[in-house]
Amino acid sequence: MTTAALGQWVRRFADLVAQHRDELTDLDSAIGDADHGSNMDRGMQAAVAALDENPPATSKALLSKVGMTLVSKVGGASGPLFGTLFLRVGGSLGEVAASTPQELAAALRAGLGGVVDRGKAGPGDKTMYDALAPAVDALDAALSDGADLSVALQNASQAAAAGRDATTPMQARKGRASYLGERSVGHQDPGATTVALLLEAAAGSSLGASGSGRRDT
Amino acid sequence: MGLVVVSHSRPLARSAIALAEEMLHGSSVRIELAAGLDDTTLGTDAVAIMEAIRRAEGPDGVVVLMDLGSAVLSAELALDLLEDPDVRDRVTLSAAPLVEGLVVAAVAAAGGAGRAEVASEARDALLGKSAQLASPDDDGLSGSAGPGGEEVGVLTVRNPHGLHARPAARLVREVRALDASVLLRNLTTDGPSVPGDSLSRVATLAAAQGHEVEVRASGRQAREAVDRLLDLAKRRFGEPAEQVPGPAAPTPPTIPRGP
């Protein structure tokens, strides 16, 4: 898994966010402040522009640039949350140009830890956690079973989608949606929806293309 | 001692700072803002917060006041982004409500309070409003009736604008410097007793000019505490008799502008 593939993942994610921008904002208008789609789109467009302007050479540099851009450009709570996710994933991968599938899985788990540190959310709170945690678990499980990275990322993407769907009957316990109490039940969580797009982008990118091998370990 | 205001809205932050600075009468408190993505776009930016903390930062540290939601998350992230752990250790994120907290924090900081005290005062900033709006049956703040051996006196507030933030800050400083526990009670309004070492609590006295305030002190310097506070009241807590600048918390509505 190369830094270039990470860049492709980020761009694909930005494309998916742009395509689903209105849908994300609609979801957020039901239980939030109706800006998630436009905020994330603004942030990811800026992140891609930053990568274009000065393409980073290492995985940490690339994902840190994405994270810091989101932190500054998104504006809502998704900024520090997705920003922390990218910063932690990048920090875990380090100043390298390629990583093993296991290193990527460990990095995503570190990213999940960052999201928990920042948002203090746990299972069933109807947040991005409910899509991200099952995806990270699925990625680990598939790699442990000997699957190659492309298959493992497909599993992770499916787990994220299932986690996203599972947020609909939940009652929100974090963020602005929690002000709604029981009225948040019946609406799919926008943050979990965006996480499903992030994993869909990973599964559809070239992240898994070179990934069956265990680099040099 | 520096303050940082984090808000989704830049105009809101600017106005909150203007409100707080009106209480300072020219004393210098460094207040930096990190608010909005630009003048009109709502949002918070952890990098901007980090930079504001760096601008406000000094040996006494920084207290950060925030509005809600992402303001809190971004402020926490800003601490992570500060590379220097020594700087990070000198920053307190305050759980205070933004406007009330900022005003109290600014007054406390201008009065020379350190970071812990500024943060503590800010955290209690809602008490004044709570006391004002509490039903007469609520007696949440009352402590009163200390053990025997306490000293009691009554002071009269002579300041034209009452015991507003600045004289109140002077009173609190005096109490804190003494080895005594001091309870204050507004006899004129028959209000509850409040600890004299907390600016936020003293503000709940709502003591206007002419009000009588009971001072009950216990501890080694109890007598001295009563004498000093009564003397301080006679000297209008250090404010000049004429031309009292600035707004008085307890006595709107005719508020002269500060210099």
pLDDT for the residue numbered A89: 98
Superfamily classification of domain B2-125: Phosphotransferase system, mannose-type IIA component (3.40.50.510)
Cβ-Cβ contacts under 8 Å between A and B: the total is 56
CB-nearest to A68 from B43, B44, B47 is B47
Burial class, A209, CB count within 10 angstroms (exposed 0-12 / middle 13-18 / buried 19+): middle
Cβ of B70 within 8 Å of Cβ of A118? The answer is: no
Q: What is the pLDDT of residues A163-186, one digit of tens each?
A: 999 999 999 998 888 888 889 999
* Fold of the B151-238 domain: Histidine-containing Protein; Chain: A; (3.30.1340)
**B164 part of the active site:** yes
Of B42, B47, B73, the CB nearest to A119: B73
Asked if A119's CB is within 8 angstroms of B70's CB, the reply is no
What is the rounded CA–CA span in Å between residue B175 and residue B197?
6
How far is A7 from chain B, CA to nearest CA, in Å?
A: 23
SS3 assignment, position A52: helix
Cβ B70–A77 below 8 Å, yes or no? yes
Q: What is the mean pLDDT of residues B192-196?
A: 90
Spatial separation of the C-alpha atoms in residues B172 and A212, rounded to whole Å: 69
> Taking residues B83-87, what's their average pLDDT?
89
Of A194 and B26, the structure prediction assigns the larger pLDDT to A194
A3-207 adopts what CATH topology?
A: 1.25.40
Domain borders along chain A are: 3-207
Q: Which of A69, A71, A86, A128 to mutate to test the interface with B (most CBs of B within 10 A)?
A: A71
A16 pairs with which residues across the strands? none
Q: Cβ A74–B43 below 8 Å, yes or no?
A: yes
A27: its two tokens: 């979801």
What are the DSSP calls for A130-144, one per residue? HHHHHHHHHHHHHHH
Beta strand pairing status for B212-218 and B181-186? Answer: antiparallel
Residues of B in contact with A76 (CB under 8 A): 43, 69-70
Whether the pLDDT of residue B143 is over 70: the answer is no
Q: Which residues of B touch A81 (CB under 8 A)?
A: 73
Going by C-beta distance under 8 Å and a sequence separation of 6 or more, which residues neighbour residue B157?
A: B163, B207, B208, B209, B210, B211, B212, B213, B233
Predicted confidence at residue B135, as pLDDT, reads 59
Average pLDDT estimate for B187-200: 88
Percentage of residues of chain A with pLDDT beyond 70: 96
From chain B, the residues in CB contact with A120 under 8 A are: none
Task: Parse chain B into domains and list their residue ranges.
Answer: 2-125, 151-238
Q: Residues B8, B25, B161, B164: which is the catalytic one?
A: B164
A109 to chain B, closest Cα gap in Å: 19
Q: Is B46's CB within 8 Å of A73's CB?
A: no
In this complex, the residue of A75, A175, A176 whose CB is nearest that of residue B42 is A75
- Residue B108 pLDDT more than 60? yes
Measure the CA–CA gap between B45 and B6, rounded to whole angstroms: 9
How far does A158 lie from chain B, in Å, by closest CA?
Answer: 29
pLDDT band at B136 (very low <50, low <70, confident <90, very high): low
Chunked into runs of 10 residues, chain A (217 residues) has average pLDDT values of 96 98 94 92 98 96 98 94 98 97 98 95 96 98 96 98 97 88 93 98 87 44
List the alpha helices (DSSP H) in A74-167. Answer: 78-93, 101-119, 129-144, 149-166
Cβ B45–A79 below 8 Å, yes or no? Answer: yes
Q: Which residues of A touch B46 (CB under 8 A)?
A: 71-72, 79-80, 83
Nearest CA in chain B to A69: B47
For residue B181, give the 3-state DSSP assignment. Answer: strand
Closest residue, chain A, to B46 (C-alpha): A71
Per-residue pLDDT at B248: 46
Closest residue in chain A to residue B71, using alpha carbons only? A77
Mean pLDDT of chain B: 85
- Minimum distance, in Å, between the CA of residue B141 and any CA atom of chain A: 29
pLDDT at A153: 97
* Average pLDDT of the residues of chain A: 94
The answer to whether the CB atoms of B73 and A77 lie below 8 A apart is yes
ipTM confidence score: 0.81
pLDDT for position B242: 63
